[in-house]
Each structure stands twice: as structure tokens, then as C-alpha cells.
Amino acid sequence: MYDTILIPTDGSDAANAAAKHAIAIAIRFDATLHVLSVIDTRSVGITTPTELDVEQLRAAYRTENEAAIEKVVEKATNANQPTTTVIQLGVPDRTITDYVTEHDIDLVVMGTHGRTGVTRALLGSVAEQVLRTSSAPVLTVHSDQDLPDDR
């Protein structure tokens, strides 16, 4: 039923809770996990004040994204689940849905709210857009819907 599961992560509590759910599903269906972190190009570049070093800022974002991916990979490794990891530049919701299509993803498991701090009535803007545009089913997880470590 699910051969490939995508876990978009930004390192937030909700993304980490979603990773636990995705790993549990991957174990049940013997699925491969894809872990994707997106460096939001809207945060770097054109809107960045000229007195900031854009390359230094991009490097800092890459370090944050690598740490976010590493948290998920560690959980998956502890559960003996294989992972494919990638960091991409782009607009998060579009990059996620493009990845779903390009890699024939069967299920997306993601947090309802990320690190942005921008709150919406029901869902974070990235999760909402992915729900609306993904060609694969999307399971959203709140940060307080964490599974115990032994599941």
C-alpha cells in the first residue's frame, strides 16, 4: 500500500512527531522513507538586506536543515528503516509537492505547524498548501500527537 513515504522536516516539534508516525507506518508496510528539508528561498536572497552576507546566511540555513534531517534519520536508523535524504532550495509547499510527483511518493507525513511561528486557524500555511496540492495522501500530525519512543 505504501512503498515510499515522504517526511518533510524543518526540525520543529510537529515535524519530529510526524517523523515518529511515518517511521511506524514504514515499519508496518516495509516502506522506504524519504526525508526532505527545504531551504525557503523567500528567506534568502532578494529580500535579504544588502549588509548581510547572503552566502553566510545560506550556509546557516543549510546547517539548520542538516540538523533537522539528522534528527529524523537517527530515529529511522534506530528503527532499522532505510532513508533517502535531501535538502532542496525552493518554496517549501511547491518543493514538497514537486518531490512527491518526481519520486512517486505514496504518502506524505508532516507536521501541522513548522518553525515559522506564523499561525493559521487550523494548519500552518505549508501543510495547508501541501494538503491542497499533493498528488499523494497527506497525514498531518500535531506536535502533541507524539508517539512513545518504543513505537
Taking only the tens place, the pLDDT of each residue in 26-51 is 999 999 999 999 988 876 655 555 66
Strand order in the sheet with 4-8: 83-90, 32-40, 4-8, 107-111, 138-141
The 10s digit of each residue's pLDDT in 77-111 is 999 999 999 999 899 999 999 999 999 999 999 99
Contact 85, 35 (CB under 8 A): yes
pTM of the model: 0.85
Q: Which fold has domain 4-141?
A: Rossmann fold (3.40.50)
